[in-house]
Structure 1
Amino acid sequence: MQTESSPFEPLICINRIDETADAATFEFKKIDDSLFEYKAGQFLTFEVDVAGELEYRAYSLSSTPSKPQTAAVTIKRVAGGKVSNYLLDNLQAGFALPAMAPAGEFTLEDNQSTTELLLMSAGSGITPCMSMARWLLDTQQQVNIHFIYSARSEADVIMADTLDALNEQYDNFSLTRILEQTDNPNDIQGMLDAPLFEKLIPDNRGRTIFTCGPAPYMQAVEHLAESMGFDMALFHKESFVPEAADNETSESGVNYQVAAPQYGKNFVVDENQSLLDALEAAGVPIISACRTGFCGACKCKVTGEVQSSSQETLTAEQIEQGYVLSCSAKASSDLVVEI
């Protein structure tokens, strides 16, 4: 069980499905067999011991909340990825892995949506969209789903059998696969561009887009939607994975002193630098996962003034006590930090 001192709870891997040569789905259950509670589209943050160093990574759930006995994530190997490579090389049924409670707001409940849904994904970005589709269909929601998935080739299609089964079983689910290389006449060969977008979605009215994938893919989908006059209040993209620009820090020349007395650390932070980046650079052991203010892993208590862009997962009492999400906090005075 999850304890007050730790936000992590051990989960037992009960099944591994190798989806492609470089991606696998891992299914988990709780030690006490209690049920998972989450919304389709949320993610789990795992604590992984890699060569004696604790690493933290967030992975979207690909399972459906309508089957709460287990929960599953689908992980794709990343070139040079320390944690994804370790898990794909080592994680098997029977192994335990600590995880935080599900989090994230890339969900149907937390965003404005309609009954005409476009679930658009690429690569491992299929996972939250698959979770949404499976939940909507399992619970017999009155929606029409057009699932548009992009990949390099047929061999790179993650959860191909599940996609085909949903397409065959449900009248309100239609599948379009866009592959760079394919001999399958049911697929579209090429890349998602403006002419293809307009052909697939000739009428934007009343449609909601949920999109997830590499940052350039989501940016391209957003640009296409805007250029086609899409109602952007109904456009939603996954944002728990930070884009490269989010990690860039411009130095303003305005600095503040930060003390972390628990660890004997004193250092300087620029007013434009996130507190999380400064703590990590100073060698303070702090958990970080989503880095965008959704998972709550980097919570810490501060004495001093900060500007916060997110307070997700923090209670009113915690905010009153001085807790902040360090990834979303920037100093505006000298600070004392407690982890």
Structure 2
Amino acid sequence: MNIGVSQNYPHLDQMQPWNDRLHLLECLSVVEEAPNVKTFTFRSDNHNWFRYEPGQFMTFELPVQPEAVLRTFTLSSSPSRPFTVAVTVKAQEGSIGTRWMLDHLMPGVRLKAFGPLGDFSMRKHPGSKYLFISAGSGITPMMSMTRWMNDCAPQSDINFVTCARRPSDIIFRKELEYLTSCMPNLKLTFLIKEHEMGQVWTGIRGRLETPKLPLLAPDFKDRTIFCCGPESFMRDVRNMLEASEFDMAYYHQECFGPAPEPVLPMLDGIATEPAAASATVTFSMSGMEVPCAAGETILKAARGAGIRIAAACESGLCGTCKVMKLAGDVDMDHNGGILDEEIDEGYILACCSKPLGNVEVEA
């Protein structure tokens, strides 16, 4: 497949925004960033441009055998360069999806994707100056926001702190060091845990701890803070900031995970069962009518009947389970995984939509 420069590549004003309901993404390039870390750059398979906020994420359908899996990744690219999008992926131990990407995803491969979505962006939560705190691949949304500010607001005041196990594990190190020469108010700090044999390291070692924070960012209480990394890392950062009496209204973090199971009501100390079926969900494409208990989501009803609706986060965040509602009303309590215009068109998120009477959906 020839994926070189197209002689007929249109100008931006001749293109339409990418629409995840109509088109696929085509892998354009693969770049190794660190051990077991690669950046995958994609373009639309139909000459579209990408409109999103720096720091948002996309969900990819990966053709892992015997059944495709859904994985959500934050975009490391900047919307100031709208012809492509990129994700930077670290192969997680025991992960089928990330391992497949590093081993099999190459230029020319096409994937289905959903999004971009998410509220983790300085465009959603603006501040006069920022403190970015990350660990490992949690650096990706910080890189997206920093790249955007370098292109569009290079005077932005950013204190950028990222943690890694070893110097060789620091993702985007060379680019970040270069950006400090382009952005006069970008302060960069790398923290590492282990020193590598034969390598000289003159930077800071150890964990990000409460005594270090005022040294790394003396004015951290005056900054809007964005944090991303493993859950344990973000929990430690939250605890550190709360102990320092930081105003947590200016703290934002990125994480993905399924919604918690609902707690059943208690009666004399005994958990009661959900109420009997109170609605019927008709799945038009499957030709099935399925009873749905009170308080049960459309996604749960579909799974109980063996009907497959793609879903990743299951908390109304990623937008993967978007389906068209053909009839009826639902109570949809989402977390930003669907746009207002999509709701106006009739779309709902199956994972967080509970029928208010009989409902018909396109699934």
TM category, shorter: 0.7 to 0.9
Contact 1:265 1:284 in 2 (8 A): no
Deviations 1:251-275 (Å, cap 9, x if unpaired)?
Answer: 342235354544436366573x654
Q: Which residue of 2 aligns with 1:163?
A: 176
Deviations 1:278-324 (Å, cap 9, x if unpaired)?
Answer: 53454321121343323322123374653524465244684695x53
Is the counterpart of residue 306 in structure 1 residue 331 in structure 2?
Answer: yes
Residues 167 and 98 of structure 1: is their aligned pair in 2 closer, same or farther, counting only changes over 3 Å? same
Deviations 1:38-70 (Å, cap 9, x if unpaired)?
Answer: 111011222222125232222111111222222
Deviations 1:233-264 (Å, cap 9, x if unpaired)?
Answer: 2111114x126xx3344334223535454443
Is the counterpart of residue 294 in structure 1 residue 314 in structure 2?
Answer: no
The CA distance in 2 between the partners of 1:127 and 1:233, in whole Å, is 23
Q: Which residue of 1 aligns with 2:203?
A: 187
The CA distance in 2 between the partners of 1:2 and 1:145, in whole Å, is 30
SS in 1 for 2:234: helix
Contact 1:61 1:131 in 2 (8 A): yes
Query: 251, 257, 261: which is aligned to 1:242?
Result: 257
Map 1:247-286 to 2 at 5 A: 247-252=260-265, 253-257=273-277, 259-262=281-284, 263=286, 264=288, 266=290, 269=293, 271=295, 274-280=297-303, 282-286=305-309
Q: Which residue of 2 aligns with 1:19?
A: 33
Residues 226 and 274 of structure 1: is their aligned pair in 2 closer, same or farther, counting only changes over 3 Å? farther
Q: Which residue of 2 aligns with 1:115?
A: 128
Q: Which residue of 1 aligns with 2:93?
A: 79
For the pair shown, which has the larger CA radius of gyration, 1 or 2? 2
Residues 337 and 198 of structure 1: is their aligned pair in 2 closer, same or farther, counting only changes over 3 Å? same
Is the counterpart of residue 175 in structure 1 residue 167 in structure 2?
Answer: no
SS in 1 for 2:179: helix
Is the counterpart of residue 211 in structure 1 residue 227 in structure 2?
Answer: yes
The amino acid that maps onto 1:98 is K
Aligned-pair RMSD on alpha carbons? 2.9
Q: Which residue of 2 aligns with 1:224?
A: 240
Query: 41, 58, 72: which is aligned to 2:72?
Result: 58
Contact 1:8 1:100 in 2 (8 A): no
The amino acid that maps onto 2:254 is E
Q: CA deviation at 1:328?
A: 2.6
The amino acid that maps onto 2:319 is G
The CA distance in 2 between the partners of 1:213 and 1:165, in whole Å, is 23
Structure 2 length as normaliser, TM-score?
0.80
The CA distance in 1 between the partners of 2:160 and 2:302, in whole Å, is 41
Residues 67 and 223 of structure 1: is their aligned pair in 2 closer, same or farther, counting only changes over 3 Å? same
Q: CA deviation at 1:80?
A: 2.2
Q: CA deviation at 1:35?
A: 2.3
The CA distance in 1 between the partners of 2:312 and 2:190, in whole Å, is 31
Contact 1:9 1:100 in 2 (8 A): no
Q: 5+ residue gaps in structure 1?
A: none
SS in 2 for 1:162: helix
Residues 51 and 122 of structure 1: is their aligned pair in 2 closer, same or farther, counting only changes over 3 Å? same
Residues 101 and 17 of structure 1: is their aligned pair in 2 closer, same or farther, counting only changes over 3 Å? same
Residues 207 and 127 of structure 1: is their aligned pair in 2 closer, same or farther, counting only changes over 3 Å? same
Structure 1 length as normaliser, TM-score?
0.85
The amino acid that maps onto 2:274 is V
Q: Which residue of 2 aligns with 1:198?
A: 214
The amino acid that maps onto 1:266 is V
The CA distance in 1 between the partners of 2:22 and 2:137, in whole Å, is 24
Q: Which residue of 2 aligns with 1:102?
A: 116
Q: Which residue of 2 aligns with 1:324?
A: 348
Contact 2:50 2:84 in 1 (8 A): yes
SS in 2 for 1:88: helix
Deviations 1:118-141 (Å, cap 9, x if unpaired)?
Answer: 111111111111000111012134
Contact 2:322 2:350 in 1 (8 A): yes
Contact 2:79 2:148 in 1 (8 A): yes
Is the counterpart of residue 131 in structure 1 residue 144 in structure 2?
Answer: yes
- Identity over the aligned pairs, expressed in percent? 33
Q: CA deviation at 1:92?
A: 0.8
